[in-house]
Amino acid sequence: MAMGFDFNEMNKTKKTLIGLGLGQILSLLCTSNAFTSSELARKGINAPTSQTFLSYTLLAVVYGGIMLYRRPTIKGKWYHYFLLALVDVEGNFLVVKANQYTSITSIMLLDCWAIPCVLVLTWMFLKTKYRLMKISGVFICIAGVVMVLFSDVHAGSRAGGSNPVKGDFLVLAGATLYAVSNTTEEFLVKNADTVELMTFMGLFGAIISAIQVAIFEQGELKAIHWSADAVFPFLRFAITMFLFYSLLPILLRTNGSTMFTLSLLTSDMWAVLIRIFAYHEKVDWLYYLAFATTAIGLIIYSMKEKDEEEEREEQRKKLLDEEEGQSLPDTSL
């Protein structure tokens, strides 16, 4: 019995560590995409939907090819995938659009607003239960991001923007759509095939993005001087987004959308480290404290997940023992 318990404990610890590590890989990929978008903006290229179009197309081609080779039975409804892709595309569009109106500090509030949205949505639709330790981990993570905001204000990096109110509403709308997308994807990844999910999300995402590009970004694309310097960031963004979407279902299946949303909080901190070591910029000391605080919150949240699994496993074993005791024949005769 002891050996079995140790084996189960090791598996749960391994799952927690994989969740933390995978969450930070996704956070780094998200940070890479942000810097790529910034690089394109510095070059005068403002075509966010065109960037995501390449990512969705790559998903459709790669996973669609796997799906055609396997020829599986489709488990999900096509309109579920269409709605998921629509929400995901528009979430990306709104958040990028907000950069034109409000400050980077305000946009960082996106992380904080997405968390309560995910908590409410998973509680309402996925019946996820959150206990005191789990909620405390969430608040500690949010405290870390608040420190980043205070650091930006203290360093004088807050710029008002041309229309802060409009930009803030765009951020809140985009954050809400991200929460809906993450929660829906968690449901689908646990009830359908991952290859199927990525195929249809890529297919419908590419179609929706192509329509938006045709309506809003034709002029931008025609104005671009297409050279290696312009093409390479588009390709880099497409590849990193492909990796992001490919790894995301693994984290959603094992740790849930709340863990994913909390993990993305550290993307701001990774961006700071890149600014320090790659661009040799000086940052406020609060950034370091914020990074440590957010990391502690993530660990607390993950530890609680493991404790809840242990309680469910103990209850399951008790029920099995009771059933076995009732079913054993009386051999006293």
Q: Rounded to two decimals, what is the model's pTM?
A: 0.74
pLDDT of residue 205: 96
d(CA 13, CA 302): 10
- Check pLDDT > 50 for residue 289: yes
- Check pLDDT > 90 for residue 278: no
Q: HSE-up of 295 (CA within 13 Å, CB side)?
A: 11
SS3 163: coil
How large a percentage of the chain has pLDDT more than 90? 20
d(CA 212, CA 51): 12
pLDDT of residue 300: 80
Contacts of 226 (CB under 8 A, 6+ apart): none
pLDDT band at 261, cuts 50/70/90?
confident
pLDDT in tens, 175-215: 889 889 988 888 888 888 889 999 999 999 999 999 999 99
How many other CB atoms are there within 10 angstroms of residue 201's CB atom? 25
pLDDT of residue 106: 57
* All structural domains of the chain with their residue ranges: 32-307
pLDDT in tens, 75-134: 888 999 999 999 999 998 887 777 667 665 556 555 667 777 887 888 888 777 777 777
- Check pLDDT > 90 for residue 240: yes
Enter the tokens of residue 21: 């590590």
Q: Which residue carries 């990512």 as its tokens?
A: 55
How large a percentage of the chain has pLDDT more than 70? 75
Mean pLDDT confidence for 231-260: 88
Enter the tokens of residue 297: 């919150």
pLDDT of residue 306: 47
pLDDT of residue 11: 66
Q: Are 10 and 2 in contact (CB under 8 A)?
A: no
